[in-house]
Amino acid sequence: MGFISSNNLCRSLASLVVSILVLTRCVDGRFVVEKNAIRVIHPPSMSFEQHDGAIANFGVPNYGGSMVGSIVYPDAGALGCSAFDGDQPFKSKDHLPTILLLARGECYFALKAWNAQQAGAAAVLVVDSVDEPLITMDAPEETSDAGDYVEKITIPSALIERSFGESLRAVLKKGDDVVLKLDWSESMPHPDARVEYELWINSNDECGPRCDEQMDFVKNFKGHAQILEKGGYTQFTPHYITWPCPKPFIKSSQCLSQCINNGRYCAPDPEQEFGVGYDGKDVVFENLRHICVHRVANESNRSWVWWDYVTDFHVRCSMKAKNYHKACAEDVMKSLGLNIHLGPPDLPMDKIKKCMGDPEADVENEVLKMEQDSQVGRGTRGYVTILPTLVVNNVQYRGKLERTAVLKALCAGFKETTEPRLCLTADLETNECLERNGGCWMDPISDVSACQDTFRGRVCECPSVNGVQYNGDGYTWCEGMYSPDSP
Ligand SMILES: *[C@@H]1O[C@H](CO)[C@@H](O)[C@H](O)[C@H]1NC(C)=O
Ligand SMILES: *[C@@H]1O[C@H](CO)[C@@H](O)[C@H](O)[C@H]1NC(C)=O
């Protein structure tokens, strides 16, 4: 099946099979480009200029934080399509990390970022080759010949406008230094002490690398997700995409096998072959159960049980492993206590059955109807078209779907100082204090330092040590004041 991107083509497609299978690409949706700010710090002739960078859909954007670095434009291989010569030629030699400037074209965006990372760059800016509004640099399609480098990219990348890129190059050509600040602190709204986030996924694990990616993420993120949910720090909602069967085809064999509730809710056949293995309608029905598990668990204030259900379901009832059947799903629910916590007549199991309704009935299912409605973008988020998609505080997450990268984005969604402890743990710290004490104040005798690593990057704040509160600007001076009752 080819790649079809034209909306009109999608609407006029007569073939139902085709239209259902390519629907992931066929919604005439708004696509929102998420951005970070880029400020010129040097040279003075350009300083205070502020520009946008479009955050790439791979690598790890530094949500909530910022990075100051000096720009390097490689003399050779500015497209970044092949490995750079030498041993990490762009590894920072002086104090500032290197932001590599590369030209758009000739190879995948992600390959440029990978080559830059291998060569020691701390971030990549790709200069657009045409004058146009910024676009999101996507990871290569899973069917492409891209190697396994995409998931190994850990540096942030952004696309910048051609005109901005050219003025940067002009300064470099004159031999002047360019220092930029990449700033993601406003890339994620952080209005209050609770983060709302949504994950759009699929219960079917038989769709290749995208499905593996989503399952790996759920498995690896579960621990974090449950801590955040139990602590009341987050409100998580899982979502599942379904499509309606076009009216004239409701009685066709394709829609009969891919849809429930008389063509109202459909999903593609897992093997893309009708009558073999599981059908699309099995997937829709199981997606519905996943949603209902979350709903019912949420009602009894155990919303995090969804993460257990999904991971256990994957182990015990995988469609890919041909282990799926209804009884299997019900066993998983039972083992998670989804049927024992409340006594009759309020059995959660019954509640889940009630929530799922009768898939054969010619009626709307309230839950799936709501899912279809929320697929359409609201406010600042675009139409959800690809799976898996993560939305945090109603902003579509960019970057790779990986535990630490996602946690960083969630942490950036809390109002400052309200973030949970999990956000301040070691694997989120940036270790900027290790180098030159992060540029913060330090007492040369006692080594008392004002530098603190946080996920937002280092902060210079006069510390409190053994009951002594230091006061000062944190950068150039701090002074210890003994309080009268200190030891
Ligand atoms: C989960 O429960 C909370 C209240 O405890 C509610 O506000 C929220 O809408 C519920 N979420 C879902 C998806 O039902
Ligand atoms: C769940 O929590 C909400 C708010 O904290 C509370 O009003 C409700 O009674 C709780 N429900 C159950 C079943 O414990």
In tens, the pLDDT along 237-259 reads: 999 988 899 999 999 998 999 99
Q: How far is the CA of 461 from the centre of ligand 2 (A)?
A: 40
Query: What is the band of 26 on the pLDDT scale with cuts at 50, 70, 90?
Result: very low
- SS3 letters across 145-174: CCCCCHHHCCCCEEEECHHHHHHHHHHHHC
Pocket test residue of 301, 302, 338 for ligand 2, highest count of atoms within 8 A of CB: 301
Residue 301 CB–ligand 2 contact under 6 Å: yes
Which listed ligand is nearest to 346 at the C-alpha?
A: 2
Collapsing DSSP states into helix, strand and coil, what is residue 361? coil
pLDDT at 427 > cutoff 70: no
Nearest residue (CA) to ligand 2, atom 6 = 301
pLDDT at 441 > cutoff 70: yes
Q: How far is the CA of 388 from the centre of ligand 1 (A)?
A: 22
Query: Would you state the pLDDT for residue 111?
Result: 95
Give the separation between CA 177 and CA 166, rounded to whole angstroms: 15
Burial of 100 (0-12, 13-18, 19+ CB in 10 A): buried
Query: Would you state the pLDDT for residue 486?
Result: 45
Task: Please tell me which residue, 8 or 229, carries the higher pLDDT value.
Answer: 229
Query: Would you state the pLDDT for residue 30?
Result: 55
Q: Which two tokens stand for residue 83?
A: 């490995």
Residue 232 CB–ligand 2 contact under 6 Å: no
On whether the CB atoms of residues 60 and 399 are closer than 8 A, the answer is yes
Q: How many helices (DSSP H) and strands (DSSP E) are in the chain?
A: 12, 18
**What percentage of the chain exceeds 90 in pLDDT?**
49
Which listed ligand is nearest to 342 at the C-alpha?
A: 2
pLDDT at 48 > cutoff 70: yes
Q: How many CA atoms lie within 13 A of 390 on its CB side?
A: 22
Task: Please tell me which residue, 326 or 127, carries the higher pLDDT value.
Answer: 127
Averaged pLDDT, 97-123:
96
Q: How far is the CA of 237 from the centre of ligand 1 (A)?
A: 8
On whether the CB atoms of residues 178 and 371 are closer than 8 A, the answer is no
Query: Would you state the pLDDT for residue 27?
Result: 38
Query: In 97-194, where do the E strands start and end?
Result: 98-103, 123-127, 157-160, 179-183
Residue 430 CB–ligand 1 contact under 6 Å: no
Which listed ligand is nearest to 235 at the C-alpha?
A: 1
Average pLDDT along the chain: 84
Q: How far is the CA of 300 from the centre of ligand 2 (A)?
A: 7
Q: Please state the φ and ψ torsions of residue 202, each to the nearest 5 degrees.
A: -150, 140
Residue 194 CB–ligand 1 contact under 6 Å: no
Which residue shows structure tokens 């690593």? 453
On whether the CB atoms of residues 196 and 393 are closer than 8 A, the answer is yes
Nearest residue (CA) to ligand 1, atom 14 = 295
pLDDT at 15 > cutoff 60: no
For the chain, domains (ranges, CATH) are 6-27+190-412 (3.40.30.10), 35-183 (3.50.30.30), 432-482 (no CATH)
Burial of 485 (0-12, 13-18, 19+ CB in 10 A): exposed
Residue 300 CB–ligand 1 contact under 6 Å: no
Q: Which two tokens stand for residue 463?
A: 């510390």
Pocket test residue of 199, 240, 293, 298 for ligand 1, highest count of atoms within 8 A of CB: 298
Query: Would you state the pLDDT for residue 339?
Result: 61
Query: Would you state the pLDDT for residue 7?
Result: 31
Query: What is the band of 377 on the pLDDT scale with cuts at 50, 70, 90?
Result: low
Q: What is the DSSP string of 196-242?
A: EEEEEE-S---STHHHHHHHHHHHHHHHHHHHHHHTTSEEEEEEE--
pLDDT at 202 > cutoff 50: yes
Nearest residue (CA) to ligand 1, atom 2 = 298
Q: Which two tokens stand for residue 237?
A: 């909602």
